[in-house]
Structure 1
Amino acid sequence: MNFQHTEDRRMLADTLNRFVSEQYGFATRDALARSDSGFSREMWVRFAELGVVGVLFDEADGGFGGQGFDIAVVFESLGRGLVVEPFLGALMAGRALAQSGSGAQRALIASLIEGHAVAALAHDEPGSHYELANVSTRAARSSNGWVLTGKKAVVQQGAEADFFIVPARTSGAADAEEGISLFVVPRETAGVALRGYGKIDGGRAAEICLNDVCLPDTALLGDRDAGFATLEHCIGAGVLALCAEALGAMEVAKEHTLEHLRTRKQFGVAIGSFQALQHRMADLLLEIEQARSAVINAAAAFGAGRIERERALSAAKHTIGRVGAQVAQECIQLHGGIGMTWELPLAHYAKRLVMIDHQLGDEDHHLERYITLGRS
């Protein structure tokens, strides 16, 4: 099988890498990540004008990509720049709309592609432990539609999102796949309470309280009680995106560390000439290539059947979690004390790599999931 990117994808990667390098330097990124909103709406529009958001969706939804390798190319470039704009939310919310939305709901995808809206998937709940089917938020029928009650945790860019895709339980036990429904919830809806906060790796997230949120029938996304398959699909896209993002961050951390080993001198010679450090760096390079292979495998399997797709995604996320932590640790140690300083970009790449492991399931969760899916 040929895993070389197409000419269009190579051009996209070159364009995006150049834009991030020239317009999204570390000082700019750091200022945006620590701002009140955690990202820039203006920069979000500029990314959209480049066509980057459109690449995440296929032609039927107004985009011009949507395949696994399209997602991987975009997010690897974003990872190289530690970009904090709401691409992940747009991807997951948009894929949910594309998978199950009505005509009016699917029209929201255009606002994401154009950079005019910010969306978030509000799935995680306190105590859910990464389990997709562990949904306690309830949606009850009312005379005018639906009433949602519950809490959502660590919603990326939640305080700035214009609308949310919210899984809620309409029937069944709290951990059953059957009985989950999805809803489109505008942020200004009465009863939606947001508490935003900064994240350790930059950007912001929010806790959401749904206090008897009244929604019309048109807010239901897809069929009642049948939202799990859509939820699994859009989170799978998010897992692939995070794996590719981590790969981009690893590459930059590796490049910075190699440059440090070439230029930092001790006893009158570059420390990269010390055999012990060479061995550690060689081991790290092999692990990064292993991570790249896992991401390629996940991207290739993204359009396959459910079991093959989900196993490849879980295998990649497990590998990325393990290798990401190793890259963060080794690169900082090879830099010495300076590796921990706020002013050095490497410290921020290390934080992001560690935190990616905890998004959408850590390495232990995905190892167990990979084994369980293999028995299916």
Structure 2
Amino acid sequence: MDFDFTDEQRLLRDSVSKLFANRYADFEKRKAYAKQPEGFDRAVWAEYAEAGLLALPFDEAHGGFGGGPVETMIIMEEIGKAAALEPYMPNAVFAGAILRHGASDAVKDAIIPHLIAGEAMIAVAHTERHSRYDLNDVTTTARRDGDDFVIEGDKTVVIGGDSADHLIVSARISGGTRDRDGIGLFLIDAKSAGVSRRGYAMQDALHGAEISLANVRVPASHQVGDLAVLERAADEAIAAICAEAVGAMDALITMTVDYMKTRKQFGVAISAFQALQHRAVDMYVALEQARSMAIFAAMSAADSDEKTRGEAMAMAKSAVGKAAKFVGQQSVQLHGGIGVTMEYKAGHLFKRLTMIEMQFGDADYHLRRLAA
């Protein structure tokens, strides 16, 4: 099997790398972006749109480029290396997949061009306080009322929810709290009556939101999918953050080895100590194992068979999560105190890797999925 990138994919990687080199090579710029009210700079988001990154996952019929999971993997790996703050995954990957797989052509025509142009942002509100990682554990309700649905409930840790113009909300149309049947996805204007949001910065400096929905009316035509669509989109998002983790680990290992070459103890660089060399090698082995699993996830993300795709994502997420935890902790140990300071990029990469390990289910959760 040929794992080499095509010429077009190499050009994509080079262009994305240049964008982040311009915007994130100076770590002081990242700190300035994080201080913005939304946790990122809208001017940088406009550059995503100008570079075509927001159009990449969507079909050409709706103004996109028809890119697939491998192209998304390339972008997400560069995002991981840069520790970029823009909510690309929640917008273009996760919410974008729901629109592509579940929305009507009318909804796509109305929403997707604005997303591609960077004029509007979208977030997926699916997690509830009690649900942990189970997408089917939903208490938010959607009651039919004529041509509308009336939605009530609360969602938590909605990544990018404070800056979103539109929300995709999972709600129960029928059935019990944990039933797999009876769940719908609804596209809601974030400024609709009854929608309230409280945004906040998370541990990795990305922004989340607590969202309450009180008698929010949404046209029935704005139902954009069901649980199967949500799970398929989540699988694509898992493949994306696996690639992001690989990029973050790659950058973290490079920083760690460079630090070991300059940090001296007993009059010599600590890179001369064999025990520390072994640690660095173990980190690199973990990275390469994670890279192979991220590639496996990207190649499996488009599989139409739910069971096969789900097993692949569980395997990848578990393996990458373990590697991310190992590499992050070893890097902090090898750096010492500087590895967790706010002024140094390594600590921020470690925080992001820790959040990725928990996002969409940690290693133990996905091992249980495979066992079941």
With normalisation by structure 1, the TM-score equals 0.95
Contact residue 61 and residue 98 of structure 1 kept, 8 A: no
Aligned to 2:156: 153
Instruction: Tell me which of 114, 117, 120 is aligned to 2:120.
Output: 117
Shift of 1:173: 1.5
Whole-angstrom distance in 2 between the partners of 1:298 and 1:292 = 10
Aligned to 1:296: 295
Contact residue 38 and residue 157 of structure 1 kept, 8 A: no
Aligned to 1:363: 363
Identical amino acids, percent of aligned pairs? 41
Contact residue 156 and residue 205 of structure 1 kept, 8 A: yes
Shift of 1:144: 4.3
Q: Which residue type is aligned with residue 329 of structure 1? A: Q
Q: Which residue type is aligned with residue 317 of structure 1? A: K
Say if 2:110 is the partner of 1:105.
no
Whole-angstrom distance in 2 between the partners of 1:92 and 1:317 = 16
The 4+ residue runs of structure 1 with deviation greater than 4 A are none
Aligned to 1:52: 53
Shift of 1:83: 1.1
Q: Which residue type is aligned with residue 135 of structure 1? A: V
Shift of 1:209: 0.4
Whole-angstrom distance in 2 between the partners of 1:337 and 1:159 = 33
Aligned to 2:255: 256
Structure 1: runs of 5 or more not aligned: none
Aligned to 2:74: 73
Contact residue 94 and residue 233 of structure 2 kept, 8 A: yes
Contact residue 197 and residue 210 of structure 2 kept, 8 A: yes
The 10-residue stretch of structure 1 (103-112 or 251-260) with the greater mean CA deviation from structure 2: 103-112
Whole-angstrom distance in 2 between the partners of 1:337 and 1:41 = 33
Contact residue 314 and residue 366 of structure 2 kept, 8 A: yes
Contact residue 301 and residue 309 of structure 1 kept, 8 A: yes
Aligned to 1:168: 171
Q: Which residue type is aligned with residue 303 of structure 1? A: A
Contact residue 240 and residue 298 of structure 2 kept, 8 A: no
1:312-349 per-residue CA deviation (whole Å, 9 max, x = no partner) reads 11111111211111111100110112112111110000
The 10-residue stretch of structure 1 (342-351 or 90-99) with the greater mean CA deviation from structure 2: 90-99
Between Structure 1 and Structure 2, how many residues are aligned? 368
Shift of 1:289: 0.6
Q: Which residue type is aligned with residue 96 of structure 2? A: G
1:74 is paired with a residue whose SS is helix
Instruction: Tell me which of 92, 95, 119 is aligned to 2:94.
Output: 92
Shift of 1:68: 1.6
Q: Which residue type is aligned with residue 168 of structure 1? A: A
With normalisation by structure 2, the TM-score equals 0.96
Contact residue 201 and residue 355 of structure 1 kept, 8 A: yes
Shift of 1:252: 0.4
Instruction: Tell me which of 198, 205, 210 is aligned to 2:208.
Output: 205
Whole-angstrom distance in 2 between the partners of 1:188 and 1:42 = 23
What is the RMSD computed on CA atoms of the aligned residues? 1.3
Whole-angstrom distance in 2 between the partners of 1:161 and 1:44 = 13
1:206-261 per-residue CA deviation (whole Å, 9 max, x = no partner) reads 00001111122222224xxxx01110111111111111111100000000001011
The 10-residue stretch of structure 1 (343-352 or 317-326) with the greater mean CA deviation from structure 2: 317-326
Q: What is the 5 A alignment of 1:1-376?
A: 1-24=1-24, 25-90=26-91, 91-107=93-109, 108-222=111-225, 227-304=226-303, 305-372=305-372
Q: Which residue type is aligned with residue 15 of structure 2? A: T
Contact residue 125 and residue 167 of structure 2 kept, 8 A: yes
Structure 2: runs of 5 or more not aligned: none
1:155 is paired with a residue whose SS is coil
Contact residue 30 and residue 202 of structure 1 kept, 8 A: no
